[in-house]
Amino acid sequence: MIRTGSYNLLRYGESDTAEEIARYERVHQVIEGMRTAAADAGDGLVLGVQEVIANDPDPDTKAKLAGQRLQELAEATGLRCCYEPGKPAIAVGNHPFHVGLLWSEGITPAGGWREYAGANVWHALAKLTLDVGARIPVQHASFHGTPFGRHRRADENERVVSAMTRPDDRPPGVIVGDWNTVFADRVLRPGWVSEDDAEPDKLVYYDPDPYTGRDAQWHGDLVYQCRWEYDRYGNRRWQADREPGEVLYAGGLHDAAAALQVPWQPTVGYWPEGDPFGPRRIDGIRVTEEVLPALRGYEVVDTELARSASDHLPIVTRYDQTAITTRTT
């Protein structure tokens, strides 16, 4: 089978201090563990990464530095990253933060390299079609959503949906990333009927709202993540803004964790201590409709090593490439 992972590396390569170099080595160890676990099970691995850091006033120099950084990461972890000789699968963003794709031996590029940046998205989106042993190649992508601008975040997700679901003859696809939003995928909660009580079946959000609750306190940074209103006494009420997630859900990009209904786990909120946003899941793996029936597993790599390497925990989904269906529309 194929394991597809997402990992925000936390400013990978930005600093050359001894402390940060030691942390980068822990990042390598986490990825090596993911690769080894896949190989031991006979699986291939495709990994999307975010926050590969490279910066220079000259765009060409910045792109070269970003590509070198991704190649260094691939060499350190036993993965591959070049879709053509000397051309690493790195999408260079508008800022120093870039995204890339890596894959294990036995998986081969099959064309379809696309890089989305500039006016399209705040950071970047990298997309590459890979031969993973399915009947047809599968497009894999890595994305990093904007940390600011709730409306821009929703607009960017429309662009992501179009990149993954159009045109009609596009390959099936998997996109991973740090979406910087709470998702809006629903799952069925079975109801019940008893002599004294009845509750109908209903759809509920898979992801709880991390910003509300009995002990929730308002702080200014919530303007980036919440919608709010006031009652007639001026009391503020707020909730997570799920519009960016609604775009993905309604647009046909299905969240693997919600689709499999695995027990919910956060991916961020543990670093640093006292994170005002709290535990939440903003890293996600989403698939097009053809890949949905092929999903076989999902996990958050929550280990002491992973918690010491980055402020995001890696996530991995497993799919049976032979079970990918053809389009019905």
How does the average pLDDT of the chain come out, rounded?
95
CA distance 60 to 328: 42
Instruction: With a cut of 90, say whether residue 128 has pLDDT above it.
Output: yes
Coil, strand or helix at 274: coil
Domains and CATH numbers, the chain: 2-183+241-323 (3.60.10.10)
- Average pLDDT for 242-260: 98
CA distance 258 to 246: 14
CA dist 189 to 132, 206, 208, 252, 261, Å?
A: 35, 10, 14, 21, 11
231: left (phi over 0), alpha (psi -120 to 50) or beta: beta
The structure's pTM equals 0.95
Instruction: With a cut of 90, say whether residue 116 has pLDDT above it.
Output: yes
Instruction: With a cut of 80, say whether residue 327 has pLDDT above it.
Output: no
| Torsion 58-101-244-268 (CA) sign | negative
| Torsion 50-56-57-59 (CA) sign | negative
- Average pLDDT for 143-165: 96
Closest residue by Cα to residue 116 from 176, 180, 163:
163
Secondary structure percentages of the chain, helix, strand, coil, to 5: 25, 30, 40
List, in order, residues 6 or more apart from 151 with CB less than 8 Å away.
243
The pLDDT of residue 216 is: 85
- Average pLDDT for 150-168: 96
Lookup result for tokens 């280990």: 303
The pLDDT of residue 105 is: 96
CB distance 139 to 104 below 8 Å = no
Return phi, psi of residue 150, to 5°.
-60, -40
CA distance 327 to 252: 12
The pLDDT of residue 328 is: 60
Instruction: With a cut of 80, say whether residue 270 has pLDDT above it.
Output: yes
- Average pLDDT for 197-212: 92
Instruction: With a cut of 90, say whether residue 273 has pLDDT above it.
Output: no
- Average pLDDT for 20-29: 98
Instruction: With a cut of 90, say whether residue 120 has pLDDT above it.
Output: no
Percentage of the chain modeled with pLDDT above 70: 99
